[in-house]
Amino acid sequence: MQADDLINLALSLLTNISVLVIISIGLAVIFGMMGIINLAHGEFLMLGAFATLTAVRAGLNIWIAMILAALAVGVFGLIVERLLIRHLYGRLIDSMLATWGLSLILIQGVVLIFGPSTQGIRTPLGDVRIGDYSISQYSLALIVAALVLLAIVFWVFTRTPYGIMARASTQLPSMASAVGINTSRTNMITFAFGSALAGAGGALLAPMAGVVPNMGQAYVARAFMTVVVGGPGVLTGTSAASAFLGSIERVVSSLWAPFFGQAALLLAAIVLLRFMPTGLSGRWGRQL
Amino acid sequence: MSSGTEATTADRKSLAGIVRRLPLEVAGMVVIVVVAALLPAVVPEYQALQWTQWILYGLLALSLTFVWGHAGIFSFGQVAFFGIGGYTYGITAINLINRTGETFSAELAAVVVAALAAAILGYFMFYGKVGDVYVAIITLATTLVLFTFMESTAGPKYAIGQALLGGYNGMTGIPTLSYGWPGSPATPLSVTQTLAIVVGVAGIIAFGLHILLRRPFGRIVAGLRENEDRTQLLGYDIRRYRLIVFIIGGSIAGLAGAGYAAWGMFINPAVFGLQQAALVVIFVLVGGRTSLLGAFVGAILLQSLSTSLGGSDSVLTPIILGGVLIAVVMLLPQGIVPTVSAIAQRLVPQLRPRPPQLPVPTSPPEQLPLPTKSDRASPQSGPLEAIDLRKSFGGLTAVDGVSLTFAPKGVHCLIGPNGAGKSTFFNLLVGRYRPTSGQVIFSGEDITGREPYQRVRQGFGIKLQVASLYTNLTAFENMWLASYANIGNTKAATQRAIEILSWLDLIPQANHLAGTLAHGQRQWLEIGMVLAPEPVIILLDEPTAGMTREETLRTVDLVTLLGKHASVVVVEHDIEFVRQLNVPVTVLHQGRIFAQGGIDELRRDEQVLEIYLGRGGDNVEA
């Protein structure tokens, strides 16, 4: 095997892992900190993509459009938390059902506004040649973006007052409220932060995937399995699960077909949970 | 546990119970079949087509009612089995119809393949003991992956025999239902005949589930839904029960899917879509999570609503479905049918369900000694030993090399300050935790790797620190579940449950929900449930927590009495209680054995006072 083969293989593996991080980190923050699974997560991704599309069409620079999209979905998440999620704390399955209902409404709402057809954004950046291969610079940017998102999460949860309070509330809710932490407020911020990350994920997907109202369906299963396999550790779990599942998916996809890759990812996840029911980070104690 | 002759009498007894109920159940089945057979005469053809679809959706919803509403398994992927059944039917029927001329084999194949898929998925989830939320996510993710997978199978290379999978366009040319037998060549059923078959089969399945839920299996499954921990500690293998329920649910969904493919002569990946998966959940939520009839009511209500809006292609349908889902969750968590019937029961008292009459004994049995089952084969009873047990959680070692032997008879107390590792050690004995290293030996047999339910079957009786009852079942049903685990016979279990309830003075409360009992009564009920199978090792974690002084004294007598028949291990905080018991005591500290001896002797030990009782000892004893 030549050096350029190896580099190409490594990059495609890393890109695939990064995509998993990008699509699941928002879900992981909400699940890890609040124990809630947002079943409309796929639609939050989709909203991020559409927000990016709209901003780019309005003439904005694509990178600025992506940041705006993340903020917009974050605000949307805040509203959803106040109107819906807040009333369903402690009712885990009910909160899943309500967000599921929300997901149906969002898909159809976007169909009504933007129409059902697939739209696209031109992929920014060009290609780079490595030996015999031509690699899209955008897929390299995705690797950087995944690292940036992880770094943001780390920074928020270790360096901001909110982050420290959020982790305290997760570990011991009763003690947290006893020392005066407003858990309702931290939950609200957590949900908005997770939503913004989902929005950023969708924004990053927009140039490489077709932007279409039901695009969430194509990604959300992988995001679910990444979070479940990762377990409660937001950063450690998500990174480890993305690396594990992303590698399996990539290898199987390139050997057979992409849809076999997804099936293999699912099977690997289910088999792993048989032996580690609380996920990869479940036994590492509660860290980030 | 019971010997051979006992088992046969037990079987005969329970058979008698079934036979007595049989005529009614057969009559119910006959009514369903007659009604179904009459349908073609009264339903016009254009309506029959729609009705068939509604009933098939109702059958799919029924599978979720059973799995979710009754067994508490959050399967968001019933449509996966529905779709698998539909595709299997299509593939088999397309390939076989020209050879065999019938579709029965294809329906059978659909049920078998769906059941197999449920068995595999269920095995990994339930034997891996993944949490409720994970079950919901895994089932939904499986469905969505099937969606992506089937969407990608367009083109002639994806074919099984003569059946093209068809990718996003779906599989076409699926034969409709047709039945025949040798000498009578099959002809495809007419639209109204299909409706009759579908209604008949759906009715029989619904009625069959109704019967099943009234049998012991149904009670155990209800217990499982109410309190998984308790059910396990009564000696039931909850993984197996969950798996069986999941397979039954998968088979029913698969059969509905086969009917659906035959009905439309077509199936496409949309059956695995997010909207279809949500639809089934909405049917069940609207109809009520536990109502078997409600499954059909929900399906028919929502489908006719969606038809009047212009079908599933209408732009408004998903928005209304999503709105209904949110509204039901926020406003009517019980579902529509149960809410309506609750209102009806409030208005018309005659409709209220009456509690079952218990065969209460005419003369109350003696208070003590403990009621014993004379016909019980004597179980093994050697010492229970912990050998160098160690348990770490992450970096923290909670139990650090504890070796202890508990004699086959007598009481042994474990005490220690908070964080001493008492509860962890207790959970290692019970089997809720696996030790990091070390062994648990019972009667010379290594039981380290056994599940709690297996230990209970070997003669363990376990009461956890947190009160663990089926709060939504009656006191009698609680006790019945405890008795049945060991006896395996409905009548004998009823008798045993009443025996123990009257011994505990709880007969007046027998038909009250356990959650409504007074605190002390709940503790007694739970202790009774632990004793029902006559355990030889009794493990009690803080049995007097929250008891009044008087109740505590009564517990001292009870524990002393139990110690004459069995080995009793008590983890306690209440020093006064331990002193009253006056039995050997082991003090745990920082995961190790710190001291052993009689309580009075330990109370004179300076070091013990320092770590546990606090400096100066006597003034903190109360």
pLDDT 10s digits, B355-409: 555 555 544 444 444 545 444 445 556 788 888 888 887 677 888 888 888 888 8
B182 confidence band (pLDDT: 50, 70, 90): low
Residue B184's pLDDT is what?
67
Please indicate if any CB of chain A lies within 8 Å of the CB of B326: yes
Rounded to an integer, what is the distance from CA B89 to the centroid of its chain? Answer: 30
Closest CB from A104, A222, A262 relative to B321: A104
Tokens 């076999």 belong to residue: A260
- Compute CA distances A163 → A21, A33, A158, B108, whole Å: 20, 10, 6, 55
Which residues of chain B neighbour A112 with C-beta distances below 8 Å? 315
The pLDDT > 90 percentage for chain B reads: 18
The neighbouring-strand residues paired with B569 are B412, B539
Residue B364's pLDDT is what?
45
Identify the weakest region by mean pLDDT among A16-30, B213-227, B310-324, B367-381: B367-381
Residue B423's pLDDT is what?
85
Residue B369's pLDDT is what?
43
3-state secondary structure of A128: strand
Q: Determine whether the interchain pair B329/A97 forms a contact, defined as Cβ–Cβ distance below 8 Å.
A: yes
Identify the weakest region by mean pLDDT among A116-125, A171-180, B117-126: A171-180
* Reported pTM: 0.84
Rounded to an integer, what is the distance from CA B299 to the centroid of its chain? Answer: 25
Tell me which residues of chain A, numbers 71 to 90, contact chain B at a CB-CB cutoff of 8 Å.
Answer: 84, 87-88
Mean pLDDT of A254-279: 86
> Which chain B residue shows the shortest CA-CA distance from A271?
B124
Please give the domain boundaries of chain B with CATH numbers for all domains. Answer: 77-267 (no CATH), 274-352 (no CATH), 384-620 (3.40.50.300)
Residue B68's pLDDT is what?
93
> Which chain B residue shows the shortest CA-CA distance from A279?
B130
Give B487 or A50, the one with higher predicted confidence. A50
The C-alpha atoms of residue B428 and residue B539 are separated, in whole angstroms, by: 11
Which residues of chain B neighbour A213 with C-beta distances below 8 Å? none
pLDDT tens readout for residues A87-139: 888 788 888 899 999 999 999 999 988 888 888 888 888 778 777 777 788 88
B348 pLDDT more than 80: no
Phi, psi of A218 (to 5 degrees): -75, -25
Which residues of chain A neighbour B278 with C-beta distances below 8 Å? 100-101, 103-104
- Report the amino acid identity of residue A273: L
Q: Determine whether the interchain pair A101/B326 forms a contact, defined as Cβ–Cβ distance below 8 Å.
A: yes
Please indicate if any CB of chain A lies within 8 Å of the CB of B217: no
pLDDT tens readout for residues B413-422: 888 877 788 8
Which residues of chain B neighbour A269 with C-beta distances below 8 Å? 138, 141
Residue B615's pLDDT is what?
47
Tokens 């089952």 belong to residue: B373
**B372-399 b/e (C-beta count within 10 Å ≥ 16 → b):** ebeeeeebebeebbbbebbbeeeeebbb
B455 pLDDT more than 60: yes
pLDDT tens readout for residues B489-525: 888 888 888 888 888 888 888 888 888 888 878 888 8
Q: Are B244 and B118 in contact (CB under 8 A)?
A: no
Closest CB from B131, B324, B329 relative to A94: B329
Q: Determine whether the interchain pair A263/B145 forms a contact, defined as Cβ–Cβ distance below 8 Å.
A: yes
Tell me the ipTM for this assembly.
Answer: 0.88
Contacts of B328 (CB under 8 A, 6+ apart): B282, B285, B286, B335, B336
> Which chain B residue shows the shortest CA-CA distance from A273?
B128
Identify the weakest region by mean pLDDT among A266-275, B332-341, B386-395: B332-341
Give B71 or B190, the one with higher predicted confidence. B71
Mutate which: A46, A108, A113, A275, vs B, most B CBs within 10 A:
A108
Identify the weakest region by mean pLDDT among B27-36, B63-72, B123-132: B27-36
Q: Determine whether the interchain pair A259/B152 forms a contact, defined as Cβ–Cβ distance below 8 Å.
A: yes
Give B180 or B517, the one with higher predicted confidence. B517
CA distance B72 to chain A (A): 11
The C-alpha atoms of residue B463 and residue B450 are separated, in whole angstroms, by: 18
CA distance B398 to chain A (A): 14
Q: Determine whether the interchain pair A221/B140 forms a contact, defined as Cβ–Cβ distance below 8 Å.
A: yes
The C-alpha atoms of residue A4 and residue A1 are separated, in whole angstroms, by: 8
The C-alpha atoms of residue A107 and residue A115 are separated, in whole angstroms, by: 11
Which residues of chain B neighbour A91 with C-beta distances below 8 Å? 333
Q: What is the DSSP string of B202-215?
A: HHHHHHHHHHHHHS
Q: Determine whether the interchain pair A224/B140 forms a contact, defined as Cβ–Cβ distance below 8 Å.
A: yes
Give B191 or A23, the one with higher predicted confidence. A23
Q: Are A226 and A60 in contact (CB under 8 A)?
A: no
Tell me the average pLDDT of chain B.
Answer: 82
Closest CB from A100, A108, A227 relative to B325: A100
Sheet holding B437-442, edge to edge: B396-406, B384-393, B437-442, B445-446
Q: How many Cβ atoms from other residues are within 10 Å of residue B600's Cβ?
A: 10
Residue A287's pLDDT is what?
62
Q: What is the DSSP string of A188-201?
A: HHHHHHHHHHHHHH
Instruction: Identify each DSSP E strand in B148-225 by its residue range.
Output: 159-160, 163-164, 171-172, 178-181, 184-188
Q: Report CA dihedral (A158, A162, A165, A167) to the nearest 10 degrees.
A: -50
Please indicate if any CB of chain A lies within 8 Å of the CB of B19: no
B618 confidence band (pLDDT: 50, 70, 90): very low
Give B260 or B593, the one with higher predicted confidence. B260
- Report the amino acid identity of residue B607: Q
pLDDT tens readout for residues B531-563: 888 888 888 888 887 778 887 888 888 888 888
Mean pLDDT of B433-462: 87
**Residue B203 token pair:** 């009715």
A21 pLDDT more than 90: yes
Q: Determine whether the interchain pair A221/B130 forms a contact, defined as Cβ–Cβ distance below 8 Å.
A: no
Give B225 or B13, the one with higher predicted confidence. B225
Count contacts between A and B (CB, < 8 Å). 147
Closest CB from B138, B148, B274 relative to A228: B138
Which residues of chain B neighbour A228 with C-beta distances below 8 Å? 134, 137-138, 141
> Which chain B residue shows the shortest CA-CA distance from A112?
B315
Q: What is the DSSP string of B322-383?
A: HHHHHHHHHH-TT-HHHHHHHHHHHH-GGGSPPPPPP---SSPPPSSS----TTPPPPP---
pLDDT tens readout for residues B93-119: 988 888 887 888 899 999 999 999 999
Residue A47's pLDDT is what?
95
Q: Determine whether the interchain pair B319/A108 forms a contact, defined as Cβ–Cβ distance below 8 Å.
A: yes
Residue B19's pLDDT is what?
52
Q: Are B377 and B421 in contact (CB under 8 A)?
A: no
A167 confidence band (pLDDT: 50, 70, 90): confident
The C-alpha atoms of residue B85 and residue B252 are separated, in whole angstroms, by: 9
Q: Determine whether the interchain pair B133/A37 forms a contact, defined as Cβ–Cβ distance below 8 Å.
A: yes
